[in-house]
Amino acid sequence: MSGATGMRAGRGRVRAGTTESPAVRWALIGLALVFMFFFLVLPLAAVATEALRKGWGAYVEALKEPDAWSAIELTLIVAAISVPLNLVFGVAAAWAIAKYEFKGKAFLTTLVDLPFAVSPVVAGLIYVLVFGAQGWLGPWLSEHNIKIIFAVPGIVLATVFVTFPFIARELIPLMQAQGTEEEQAAIVLGASGWQTFWHVTLPNIKWGLLYGVILCNARAMGEFGAVSVVSGHIRGQTNTMPLHVEVLYNEYQSVAAFAVASLLAVLALVTLVIKTVAEWRHEREMKALAELPPERPAPTA
């Protein structure tokens, strides 16, 4: 009886904490739906409508065009390179910041956040200053026939820079909240560093790591500013999908531009669906763990 009474009292406290009237709640919900319609649904519908304005055949031909296919391929290649690199860098940075105390820790945290504070265009200009023909390393690179700027390596470097914080910033607060007790226990029991990471740390951070990878991949495929500076806009060679959309639109090829833009929108929606499924599975796993009976203490001799 006391348990039931406590549950009823708890529910009463929850209801008492919600003071908004039904009219206010419905107004807020309606405002959110209107906002989503005008800023999310309507633009996506406009992109799809413009892409299919001349029919399905014209849409397919716009995507089959060699320059468009080259832009799609380059976008996927850049994402396939930059996301794994940021996966390694992000996990290493989060591990160092969350699990260890050392001099320069605040400075390292600031460096992780730097791409959030610096404009992507400025980041691209920095790479041009360092690796460009007239840059600090430009003459040496030219002597050794190494091309960074206006080539794929420069695009990868710029993409890695702007996407670096996503994985690290997703993992740092998660690792800090978990503490180091489990890792220390594993080491005391004789586990190696790799065994501790693989069997203790990674299972605890897998969902945060997945969220970070999803966000990193989405930004890598949609990056425009930094890539625009270092790519040189060479059609069929250094144009990614966002750059190709800009080129087509400036040439008044609106159907082709919106066709490629619609493909980017589809990739973004797929990313959103994957993130939603991951969050749903995470919540279900947490609910299952919460419903497990508490462990009984071992009997004493």
Q: How far apart are CA 207 and CA 265, in angstroms?
A: 24
- pTM to 2 decimal places: 0.81
Q: Are 212 and 166 in contact (CB under 8 A)?
A: yes
pLDDT in tens, 93-122: 998 998 888 888 889 899 899 998 899 999
pLDDT in tens, 150-171: 999 999 999 999 999 999 999 9
Fold of 56-287: MetI-like fold (1.10.3720)
Residue 296 has pLDDT above 80, yes or no: no
Note the Cα 53 to chain centre separation in Å: 32
pLDDT in tens, 134-146: 889 989 998 989 9
Run of H or E including 181: helix 181-188
Q: How far apart are CA 112 and CA 98, in angstroms?
A: 13
User: Over the chain, what is the mean pLDDT?
Assistant: 86
Burial class of residue 188, CB neighbours in 10 A (0-12, 13-18, 19+):
exposed
Q: How far apart are CA 230 and CA 243, in angstroms?
A: 11
Q: Are 285 and 277 in contact (CB under 8 A)?
A: no
Q: Which phi and psi angles does 69 have, rounded to 5°? A: -65, -35
pLDDT in tens, 116-129: 889 999 999 999 99
Q: Quick one: which of 263, 268, 219, 255 has its CA closest to 73?
A: 263
Query: Token digits for 295?
Result: 């462990």
Residue 84 has pLDDT above 80, yes or no: yes
Length of the chain: 301
Query: Token digits for 59?
Result: 């849409």
Q: What is the 3-state secondary structure (H, E, C) of 54-106?
A: CCHHHHHHHHHCHHHHHHHHHHHHHHHHHHHHHHHHHHHHHHHHHHCCCCCHH
- Cβ atoms within 10 Å of 257's Cβ, excluding its own: 23
Burial class of residue 232, CB neighbours in 10 A (0-12, 13-18, 19+):
middle
Run of H or E including 175: helix 152-178
Run of H or E including 195: helix 193-196
Tell me the CB-side half-sphere exposure of residue 9, using CA atoms within 13 A: 6
pLDDT band of residue 2 (cuts 50, 70, 90) is very low
> Which residue ranges make up each domain of the chain?
56-287
